[in-house]
Amino acid sequence: MRSQMSIALRILLGAACLAPLALSATTATAAPDPAATAPAPRERPRNVIFVLVDDLRYDGMGFLQPGLLKTPNIDRMAKEGTYFPNAVVTSSLCSPSRATILTGQTARNHGIVDNNNGSENALVFFPKYLQEVGYQTAFFGKWHMGASTDAPRPGFDKWVSFKGQGNYWPARAATPESSPDLNVDGKAVPQKGYITDELTDYAMNWLSKERDPKRPFFLYLSHKGVHSDPLPPPRYAHQYDDAKFTLPASAANTPENNAGKPVWVLNQRNSWHGIDFFYNADVPMTEYLKYYYGTLSAIDDSLGRIMAYLRKNHLEKDTLVVFTSDNGFQVGEHGLIDKRNAYEASVRVPLVVWEPGTVPAGKVNPGRIRNLDFAPTFLDLAGVQRPPQFEGSSAWKLWEGKLAPADWKPGDFTYEYYWEYNFPMTPGTFAIERDRVKYIQYYGVWDTDELYDLRNDPEEMHNLVNDPKWDAKKQELRHALYAQLANSEGKHVIPYGMRESIGAVRRDVNGTHAADFPASWYVKPNPTDRFDQIIGDTPAKLKAHAEGKPLIYTPPLADELKRQVDGRSK
């Protein structure tokens, strides 16, 4: 898959040679001279169209898998714009990620920490600030912060949405989390057809007939696709019948792949979110992907319709289009599927940015962009003052090509996922990446943490957490992670929702059974360093262990009790 992506990037750039996807700053075009490229003064602020796909993995675009995937409109957008291969999300789950995009805040501050909690009390969505400077704003599609309501939200002049996850085709009946209707500006309107096409119809109607052409606009098109269970429209139902999809090498249940991985990872492969029993069904992932990418083709059509409208109406040089996903999607990496965890295929997302004449064409920019950075970027390009609660950074100068990737200082990438009862197989997860070294820790579980050198191990196959050579870096990242996970009040709080069921705990009766703990955890009674594991990994402790000594020598418990009791009795 990586070789396919390398070839695709060469095609995209028209270059004779290009390094693999783990790009350095030298692969992107240097920042142009601002004086030579400064555009003429704009008569009005630029328009923005933000296209959000659900669960699209980072390499799920035709130009990254040529000869296999068919996404001509996404590919053209990348050829005419800039592709960002290092885009990530700070929480890889629908509701928390969407809330981060809309509020410019992390989950620990906006409070939407799972897919059950729909509380939006006191949250301010960034389109409200655009409204205040004259923008027309419109939302079409999946909102999904809990499933409680599809009502219009503050900050949007036009509203078309649905309850919960929505339906690819009109539902037959209403349920507590679903409806056969769309909410159109506060009124229930029956869904008529395939959701991707229908949402695009609404968006196109607003662009062409409803908005005021004298005012700038912000359009947020939030697709249901390609979320499970993906259903392509009839025109793409058999598009990939003959396609041969392959799983990542780490999907195989082998000692080499499992070495160093936490017990929860080994146990998850035979579960709802594991490659061996995913969604508790027996459809092979190689077959599932045919539906997944057939569903993406309808989204590609939608993007094509939007771009054609902009070109026909001479709006392409006045409109920024951003194409991305709310989280990544694993298709077998480490035996896992879906998202939630901190592995690369879960946290990385596609990102293509397009505005001819402003955004450099045909470029690959390695600058890391978080979903946390979208809100400040959109307000920056509109000339809106940054609100104090925003936590991200504006990437506008980077997107324009006026800031070289080497001068873009995104800082650490900090990740947070809070355990939810529905899918208890994934523990609470915190992670930090600094200088291409990623440290992952898990909250409240009896398991190992992880450390990866992503420069030399981009597939995260070699856990270095117990390698003495990495002890100092591990401790550095532990301290940095804890400091950065403090909320806006400086507190470290683990939010959680109400548990309403046992969750998806089933396993294939003929599949693998529970995994064993690491061999190094099994010791004979009365080790002489009994207390050392309880004590923090201080330099003194690490030095003692490197010399093969305990930090605190502990004799056998029976001997110590007898000694102390006998001593006191005397």
DSSP string, 527-567: -TTTTGGGS---HHHHHHHHTT--SS----HHHHHHHHHHH
Contact 86, 405 (CB under 8 A): no
Q: For the chain, what percent of residues have pLDDT higher than 70?
A: 91
Interatomic CA distance for residues 277 and 135, integer angstroms: 47
For CATH 3.40.720.10, the residue range(s) in the chain are 47-243+277-408
Query: Six-digit token pair at 15?
Result: 């270059």
3-state helix, strand, coil split of the chain in percent (to 5) is 35, 15, 55
Of 282, 250, 279, 281, nearest to 266 (Cα)? 250
> Dihedral of CA 51/54/58/59: which sign?
negative
Contact 197, 300 (CB under 8 A): no
The ranges of the chain with pLDDT < 70 are 1-44, 146-147, 568-570
Query: Would you state the pLDDT for residue 5?
Result: 46
Query: Would you state the pLDDT for residue 560?
Result: 81
- Decide: residue 357, CB within 10 A, 0-12 exposed, 13-18 middle, 19+ buried: exposed
Interatomic CA distance for residues 459 and 438, integer angstroms: 12
Token pair 């004979």 in the structure block, residue: 524
pTM of the model: 0.91
Query: Would you state the pLDDT for residue 474?
Result: 97
CA-to-CA separations, 333 to 126, 313, 343, in angstroms, rounded = 35, 44, 9
Query: Six-digit token pair at 64?
Result: 């990254």
Query: Would you state the pLDDT for residue 49?
Result: 98
Interatomic CA distance for residues 277 and 284, integer angstroms: 9
Interatomic CA distance for residues 549 and 551, integer angstroms: 6
Number of residues written out for the chain: 570
Token pair 């939302």 in the structure block, residue: 139
CATH superfamily label, 47-243+277-408: Alkaline Phosphatase, subunit A (3.40.720.10)
CA-to-CA separations, 138 to 29, 50, 158, in angstroms, rounded = 34, 10, 4
Helix (H), strand (E) at residue 324? strand 319-325
Work out the angle at residue 430's Cα, subtended by the Cα atoms of residues 165 and 337, and round it to the nearest 5 degrees. 45
Give 303-312 contacts, CB < 8 A, sequence gap 24+.
303/51, 303/73, 303/74, 303/77, 304/72, 304/73, 305/200, 305/204, 306/49, 306/51, 306/200, 306/203, 306/204, 306/207, 306/221, 307/73, 307/76, 307/77, 309/204, 309/207, 309/208
Token pair 């696709």 in the structure block, residue: 225
Helix (H), strand (E) at residue 338? strand 337-338
Cβ neighbour number for residue 120 with a 10 Å cutoff: 21
